[in-house]
Structure 1
Amino acid sequence: MTALEVDRPAPGVLRMRLNGADTLNALDEGVKTALVDALRAAALDREARAVLLTGTGRAFCSGGDVRGMGTRSPSETNDVLTFGRQITEGIAELQKPVVAAVNGIASGAGFNLALASDIVLAAPKAWFQQSFVRMGLMPDMGGTYLLSRAIGLHRAKHALLTGRRFTAEEGRELGFVARVVEGDFDAEAVEFCAGLARRAPIALGLTKLLANRAVDGSLADALDREALAQGVLAATADHKAAVSTFLSKGDLDAIEFKGE
């Protein structure tokens, strides 16, 4: 069984940590429910400005819980897929940055959990694999879409159809890993999220929202959305504080953004 541990390791940072040593942090039904609930709560949590998603032990997430597979009815399988979809949509729709700190194995749904996040940090020994075909299945939680968007159609099909494994460094070279973190991985991941949490939260949320939409529409659609969002941001107190600081030659990184 995998538990979800939620804490606040730094100001503005909400950490969600998968902990299931016996299953390598597999996504059983209990932890899926907990993730859905935690993401919904994070959306309403004004103190949480960045979400850090990580695992414990030698795995980030080993995917679905195999112990529950092979015996489900079609309706039970549909329930499982619904929870997975809600997690992916919850991450995408959350107007706060979600950072996946991949500390180890990210296989199957675990890989897709990382891909659904906005930024992926990886430990040097972490690895990623679309293992579904090895189990006679196909990716869910948006895997076919997310991987194709991240690394291109043909490279994605090669990974999806063969179940090939990517090292952390290969992930960085292909672009779905933003940074391979040496040293104290947990501390570095928290510090990275703390840096995001110091940014203007409304600006972060709208930037994420429009970036997600940009890959699905035309240039004209993107320009329309940018104009609407920028009009909102230009009237915020956070923006006005930044302008005032800039004009007075102050330190932009020292601004305490209020989310107003």
Structure 2
Amino acid sequence: MNKTNTYFRLAHQIQDEAFTLSQAGKCNLYLSVSLKSIRLAVADMERNKFVVLEDYELLSIFTPQQLAEQIRLIAAENPLLQEQRWQLVRVSISNLHFTLVPETLYDPLHQSDYLKLHSNLNQKQDLVLSYRHNSLGAVNIFAVDSAVYQALQQAFLDAPLQLVHQTSPLIRSMLHAVGRVTQPQLYAFVETNYVTILVIGTDGLEFCNIFHYLSPEDFIYYIVFVMQEQKLNPEQETVTVWGDIMHDSALFNILKKYIRHVKFGERPTAIEYSYKFNDLFEHRYFELYSLHLCE
């Protein structure tokens, strides 16, 4: 085996003592997949509780083909990915290739046409999928590289598999978390080099987009730019953040410099968590937990 093909490390692992793989038939397996990480969580559907979390950090992965190779390598050694008896396997894909289309305008025969207006699709390599947001009256159309799709299909040949774009669980979870609001507020989910920004107002979701940043200055530029475009005042409004951002990070420090009120979001309350999760920051792994709120 060529070991130079292995570009991952298990950065974090949690497992409730009460969980065994023999319980897979009453559990859902959730995965969040990006070029930076592959994260897994198991939700016991009878107890409505998260019982397992694993976080694989990907190192020097730059292409979907390399990502697909790491999925196969992890699956070859991870019992969770070898198990086929899950009630459901739901996977979120993190990339820039998505668009939200009003349900009244949506025609499944033209999915690629909608997406090509907002994304540089590779017609030979990208597979176009969709997820319906019934509460929004909208459809999230997104692309998955065919190599990544095939790697996931091969891992779960006998398990029910659903793919969604990462923005879908974020939208569902944030709308659930904030409930009714009296004025628009900005919410951000932070990944390495990417930030997903949502604005939620009195009528629901008003803005959703993903921005690529290379520095803290890029990062704060996009936050302030969206606030200005949405007529939000950095001196008055509260910005809530989740994801891979810490209290002592350069990203958080620059946020505090330009935004008067910044706070970390909490994990979704629609499900419970094993006591083993108590040592984790609540704003971390939000994208993974939020998969539980999809349909």
TM range, smaller chain:
under 0.3
TM-score relative to the length of structure 2 = 0.23
